Structure 1
């Protein structure tokens, strides 16, 4: 699209989503490399017989909940609700330390989202920012709104990436016995 042509709000939102998706993918790759030992430890822990062992339903549910979540809180709340259950499943999540370690890992994972959101927004060209700005909105208000939205999307994406890596490691551990 030539610079002389203005972006529609819809096109601008799509372009912003692509930027968020690219940032999330880059972060996921970096997470996989830099936190490999932690991911292995969590996957191995979940694969223990006294945790989930070969009963894949808990890890499958975790992955589904994570994938469908629209907020980081929804992912964290699911883990907490599993840890709080007064059943064998709840004990597997809490007594083993798996749930607590996963929550700690998630909290560390999302810690970079605010600065990454800021950097992503600073890299937007003026044309894209204008298209994303609402008509009744001042520049500062638009920047604040976009920072909150992008930050939320990155937190969710980063948390989903960690969960996906842990579930994949768990599946690997279970399949290789």
Structure 2
């Protein structure tokens, strides 16, 4: 498995809509494995293919994050929210493409998602709690939306400026 480089905001690829995956291939399975490895290494609980410069509708996630929890890696191909609860929840979100920055984002508390599994079969599941927040956050990536897009313009601009500075410092590094 290969740990991939994670794109950092601002990067134009993070604002593009990803293309649907045409078929489940061995190459796609390898990409999913690499993305899970990258996500665990980061460490994070979710990662979307555009974050590793692959413009396809593929996400990985694992919200079992307690030290004694058994990992529950999930790979979702062409995920789509098919139902949302009226009840809302607020979570202090972060993003591997925007390290060290967190902000409260309000989203539906529960969602039902349909996707293609690595076995090529259609899956459907209802998510709540952290899993619901995570799956919505990652699907947003596939649509070119970042969690900071939900923030007020001033806060979003402040985070973007800090990220531009971080990228300049890393380039000099």
Shorter-chain TM range is under 0.3
The structure with higher relative contact order (CA 8 Å, sep 6+) is 1
TM-score calculated relative to the size of structure 2: 0.24
Identify, as 1 or 2, the structure richer in helix: 1
TM-score calculated relative to the size of structure 1: 0.23
